[in-house]
Amino acid sequence: MADEFTVKIEGFATPGCGIARVDGQVVFVEGACPEDVVKIAITKKNKSYANAKVVEIIEPSSHRVKPFCAMQKVCGACQLQFIDYDYQLELKRQIVQDAMRNIGGLDILVNEVIKSPEILEYRHKIQYPVSQTKVSKRILAGYYKTGSHELVNIKHCPIQPKICDEIIDFIREKAFEFGVLGYNEKKHSGDLRHVVIRNSALNGKNLVVLVVNASDVNKNIKKLADAIFEHFAEVSGVCVNFNTKKTNVIQGNISKCVAGRDFVVEKILGKSFKIGANTFFQVNPKSAENIFKYVKDYISSNFKKPTVLDAYAGITAFGICVSEVCEKVVSVEENTQSCIMAEDCLKENVIDNVEINNMDAGEFFAKEKRKFDAIILDPPRKGCTKESLDNALKLSKGKIIYVSCNPATLARDLKYLAEKGARVESVQPFDMFCHTYHVENVAILSLI
């Protein structure tokens, strides 16, 4: 195969690549849109496919638009920003449809993707890796280039609230001033590994988390935390998270609040939630509200005061949001801090029909004897184990509501459930992560 070809992009695939064919072989083209005619350069060859990048756009697709962010080509965060938003949604629906067919073997029509209410400044959780330059020791914070660990220093990001840019810029300046060292991934040295900001869509307050390569708060980190809290009225608190492992995992298990409060408050469907340093909560609260409403409306329309299990519950957001249309909600979550936050949320919202279980979902499934009218599964990207799926089938009286951010593992798990006799009623995608290839889905399954 030669190095360069002119091709027409025929399709689209995860992770945000156009699909072309050269001499019958599939080529995945980074930065290409369906209907583009482009000159490509082959970057990698395999037996069954090749990877390529765009060298020249000869005839642009009608769906191509000018990216609204100057950093789009070098920052790996918004892979689809050069494609008009409505067509992004159709491509995401196709990604889910292809996963259902090719991985799940399911003959089901995936619904149209429900739009995000906001497509700019929608991202309310920011996670920036931190490093520093070799000579000047200037602090860098931003996102990695696609497929690399080369850090792009981001000064302005249009998909996150403007205050986050200001906080990050202040941290760069003060970290350098206070002698806080940026993290060196290769040497596993330095102080500050990541900055995580949780911004509240409710009131604009921010919880800042400094992830450090240490097991305690040193004086320079403390000075930095105090400076952030004192400078920004919009910062409700600053926490330090300890992560000394050689890992790609961003945060460790332990955090310490060193200034202000250790949470921000978010509101979904009229319910208040406290979100802490180690608490999972959706990055796009307004799109998340669409998902919670969809699940709540389904339960309300199909049951009269059911008993519902909320598994992989986090701070029990699903359980709390659906509680008023349920007789009882039983939630299970292994993260202790999330369970503590969930208990606080129940008191704050005066809810008395939700039971919190702080334990691994698999262990809970294995020991639980009660049966539930509906089970909500909201696992991490890797999906569920076969044992957990077997137990969900055993504990459900008839319905499983499976929430997933990964179409591939969702399709795999739906295939397994279908082979065990479940019927997939519907798959509804939601745009939680605008301008990326990621897509959230809610699948409804019936066991009757």
**DSSP one-letter code for 105:** -
CA atoms within 13 A on the CB side of 70: 4
Centre a 10 Å sphere on the Cβ of residue 423 and count the other Cβ atoms it contains.
12
Q: Which residues of 329-350 are buried (b: 16+ CB within 10 A; e: fewer)?
A: bbbbbbbebbbbbbebbbeebe
Determine contact, residues 86/402, Cβ cutoff 8 Å: no
441/448 Cα distance (integer angstroms)? 22
Query: Tokens 């499976």, residue?
Result: 402
> Which amino acid makes up residue 441?
N
Alpha carbon distance 41, 31 (integer Å):
12
Q: What is the distance of C-alpha 233 from the center of its chain? A: 28
Backbone angles phi, psi at 406, to 5 degrees: -130, 100
Tokens 């040497």, located at residue: 187
Strands (E) in 74-160, as ranges, are 125-132, 139-144, 151-153
CB contact at 8 A, 146 and 30: yes
Task: At 111, list the tokens.
Answer: 């619904």
Residue of 33, 345, 405, 434 with catalytic role: 405
In 3D, which of 428, 445, 412, 409 has the Cα closest to residue 92?
A: 428
| First vs last C-alpha separation in the chain | 53
Alpha helices (H) along 303-380? 317-322, 336-348, 361-367
Query: What is the separation of C-alpha 74 from the centre of its chain, rounded to a whole number of angstroms?
Result: 21
3-state secondary structure of 338: helix
**Catalytic-residue membership of 345:** no
SS3 248: coil
CA–CA separation, 158 vs 408, rounded Å? 29
400 to 327, 351, 378: CA distances (angstroms):
17, 24, 11
Distance in angstroms (rounded) separating the CA atoms of residues 52 and 30: 6
> For residue 347, what are the contacts with CB-CB under 8 A and spacing of at least 6?
none
Would you name the residues annotated as active-site residues? 405
